[in-house]
Structure 1
Amino acid sequence: MRVLLFTGKGGVGKTSVSAATALSTARAGLRTLVMSTDPAHSLADSFDVPLGPDPVEVVGGLDAVQLDAQARLEDNWRDIQDYLIALLRWSGIGEVQAEELSVLPGLEEIFSLIDVQRFAASGDYDVIVVDCAPTAETLRLLSLPDALGWYMERIFPIERKVARVVRPVLGQMTSMPLPADGLHGSVERLYRHLEEVRDLLADTETTSVRLVTNPERMVVAEARRTYTYLSLFGYHVDAVVVNRLLPDAVTDPWFDTWRTRQAEQLEEIRAGFGDVPLLTAPLFDDEMVGIDRLGELAAAVYVEAKPHELLYVGSPLTFEPTDEGWLLTVALPFVAKGEVDAFHRGDELYVKVGSYTRSILLPAALRRCAITGAGLADGRLRVSFRPTGPAGRSRDLPR
């Protein structure tokens, strides 16, 4: 079973590359599903066939699905939404406004991720290709289970118990709607679904992320940031696809400056992403729409490579024994010392890069250890632990 996620800045051609990859794996004899978490839903346009909320066979062995965002919302958010609407109306907000405010931005994409896990668990497919939303939305979605984890494991059980005790008393003192225990059950069920998604997507042998970019300075910068944050949260990038390179057949001098800049950016990508395979596709003379054109794109991108295989082996998070204790390493490519903070508290290591913070639950062997050193080297954060030091000591990352 393989899950391939394609992401990149909007407009780089990730939907076309996703569709082409799915077509190639299906032609290799693998039962394949391609789906989109991008609200733009351009997957149907790529195949030039209508798609709906149920899998539709595009060609033999290849199904495609365009998820019904509203149905996913009803299935996963209705109980929570009803309470939020009641609370907002109690506070004086009108019914229409309350209805709108009760749906948080990005919820549809979140529930699309739950469908990824559902299709993977069905056993109906050998390969699932996911055309993800543009990078900012994708990062928010993939970091959500980590962001909710601390709250759900620590605060949520206490909050639930307190609510059971105070609900009868407060119910007699105020008209404010109070959350029923069933609401807590809905929140917990939603979190458990996201936790299952996290386990699937962080399984480096099953799931790979492939970054799609164009050889342009701003787009490459976005790809580098995305690579850093994906590594921070433990998601494995096994290839970078550089799309729309000027082909050799274009010899008009008008394109010389453009060709030079593309070559510079291509070299920067090669140097920056290290051992991660670099796949390329030319700028074609027409839109890549329909089975025939997508087949051309797949042949250009993968050449002799098999798109369903793991194209690069490398773990974003490792624990290694040393003579003095343990060494934890986290891949943080393109990060300088002043851009990362790390500290140890209790049984967790917190790593912050930019606006994203990841909480890493330490194995039992490290929970009673003290941090003896931390630093960045070769694109990885390295944290040393020694079991003989005072437990629970926090140490900030040296600047």
Structure 2
Amino acid sequence: MTAPRVVLVSGNGGSGRSTLAAATAALAAAQGRRTLLLAADDPHRTVDRLVGAALETAPAELAPGLWAARLDPQSAFRDAATRLLGRAKPLFDLLGVDPLERDELSALPGAGHLALLDALRTHGAAGTHSAAGGWDTVVVDAPPVAELLAALALPEQLDRYLGRLVPEQRQAARALRPVLAAVAGVPMPADWIFEARSWAAAELAQVRAVTDAPGTTVRLVVDAPAGPHAVAALRSARAGLALHGQRVESLLVNRLLPGVVPSVPQSTDAIAGPLRQAQQDQLAVLRAEWDVPVRAVPHLGHEPQGWPDLDALGLAGKAEPGESEPGEYQPSASAPWAVQDLLDTPDRVLVWRIPLPGAERPDLDLVRRGDDLVLGVGAYRRTLTLPSALRRCTVSGAALRDGVLAVRFTPDPQLWPRG
């Protein structure tokens, strides 16, 4: 069974992302896809009021083909901590202490990030089943971009920490532990440490299989009219998402006045004229700058509530002819992060091309640390492990052009094969 299509709907607080996440899910269900709406960042229960139901942690069917559930960071933290404490039982036995009971556990800061990742692993993996079969589409009412990226970056960061604590060579030498301990006097961790490391690695791999899947994309929401600072923040958010390998599939410009959206008749209210013109100008600028669909969503004249309003908003954000709906999205098959071999040219370099749409040169930060490349884009940072060929090179330059960062590597004569 193929993995469901996962759509992460994100935007600043107050932009209407919860409403448009619900509208996206309603549209997908109306088009015949088994759809799950996941309220992952909805502390004021906006989604409950929109759909007229009190959502629980277990998915409940709200309409034909549409289920919905709510994240509970407290319960998710207790579940994860209980599993972890069970794995750490040998350590507690060694120390002679009793592990905490489930009721004694209280969610720590960052528990919401763990709850989101656990929900993505549970509902976004291939073979996930609902009461009516496998999910076709999972729509997530996600946190703002900075918080969303903090959550999505966790598996990679934790996997890196695990690799430092119990390196691969130590795991490979596990079978030789009796010999190493007796002959060479090399200390080796106990078996339960290896088992815990393998278990944690498997858990993280399951999460990354969803977050890194080609069918997992981000749908950004911006409230109109957004001023220059908001547009710059939106551009920076897209660059941060690209840095962590997350694909933006569309941009929804929300709460546009009548006359800005062609299907809505224009009002004769003279007071709204300057605002309408500002929204039209901004919509045109965004469509000229962004290379993904920019869709106009109208202001309904009232606070959205109920299925008719969600249907209207979903249809307004619907794909234009020739575009793909969330359940139909087909990502590019080309490798997004490619190493170009120019060793046979006069330059004699390798070039690592990293797509960073929205990035600006003053916001870039690039540092080589051993076999890693630490790349920063504004407030977002990521540590990248260099491909094997680039580890035997030195960084000789970098350039940002047309949304692609090209990092040049020159072979190190001391490490590069001769001839």
* TM-score under structure 1 length normalisation: 0.79
Return the letter of the residue paired with 1:376.
L
Residues 371 and 109 (structure 1), Cα distance of their counterparts in 2 relative to 1, 3 Å cut:
closer
Cα deviations by residue, 1:297-316 (Å, 9 ceiling, x for unpaired): 11111154523222774979
Residues 391 and 130 (structure 1), Cα distance of their counterparts in 2 relative to 1, 3 Å cut:
farther
1:88 is aligned to none
SS of aligned partner of 2:365: strand
2:137 is aligned to 127
Return the letter of the residue paired with 2:295.
L
Contact 1:369–1:386 (Cα < 8 Å) also in 2: yes
Return the letter of the residue paired with 2:219.
R
Q: Which runs of 5+ in 2 are unaligned?
A: 89-103, 129-133, 172-189, 260-265, 344-348
Residues 354 and 188 (structure 1), Cα distance of their counterparts in 2 relative to 1, 3 Å cut:
farther
Matching of residues 320-331 of structure 1 within 5 Å = 320-324=339-343, 326-331=350-355
Shift of 1:252: 1.0
SS of aligned partner of 1:276: coil
1:108 is aligned to 112
Return the letter of the residue paired with 2:307.
I
Cα deviations by residue, 1:82-138 (Å, 9 ceiling, x for unpaired): 99xxxxxxxxxxxxxxx89x7432312322222112112243211111110123321
Residues 60 and 389 (structure 1), Cα distance of their counterparts in 2 relative to 1, 3 Å cut:
farther
SS of aligned partner of 2:62: strand
Distance 1:326 1:231 in 2: 22
Return the letter of the residue paired with 2:209.
D
Matched, 1:382 2:411: no
SS of aligned partner of 1:287: coil
Shift of 1:245: 0.8
Aligned equivalent of 1:118, options 117, 122, 134? 122
Matching of residues 4-153 of structure 1 within 5 Å = 4-40=7-43, 41-78=45-82, 103-121=107-125, 122-123=127-128, 124-153=134-163
Distance 2:164 2:139 in 1: 35
Contact 2:76–2:114 (Cα < 8 Å) also in 1: no
What RMSD over aligned residues (CA atoms) do the two structures have, in Å? Answer: 3.2
Aligned equivalent of 2:328, options 306, 309, 324? 309
2:222 is aligned to 213
Aligned equivalent of 2:251, options 229, 232, 240? 240
Matching of residues 266-345 of structure 1 within 5 Å = 266-273=283-290, 275-304=291-320, 305=323, 306-310=325-329, 313=332, 317-324=336-343, 326-345=350-369
Return the letter of the residue paired with 1:265.
Q
Matching of residues 144-183 of structure 1 within 5 Å = 144-155=154-165
Return the letter of the residue paired with 1:74.
R
Contact 1:202–1:236 (Cα < 8 Å) also in 2: no
Shift of 1:270: 2.3
1:356 is aligned to 380
Shift of 1:39: 4.4
Shift of 1:347: 2.9
Distance 1:198 1:363 in 2: 19
Residues 312 and 120 (structure 1), Cα distance of their counterparts in 2 relative to 1, 3 Å cut:
closer
2:346 is aligned to none
Q: Which runs of 5+ in 1 are unaligned?
A: 84-98, 162-179, 393-399
Cα deviations by residue, 1:320-350 (Å, 9 ceiling, x for unpaired): 4333254322222333323212233333222
Residues 266 and 188 (structure 1), Cα distance of their counterparts in 2 relative to 1, 3 Å cut:
farther
Contact 2:72–2:115 (Cα < 8 Å) also in 1: no
Shift of 1:356: 2.6
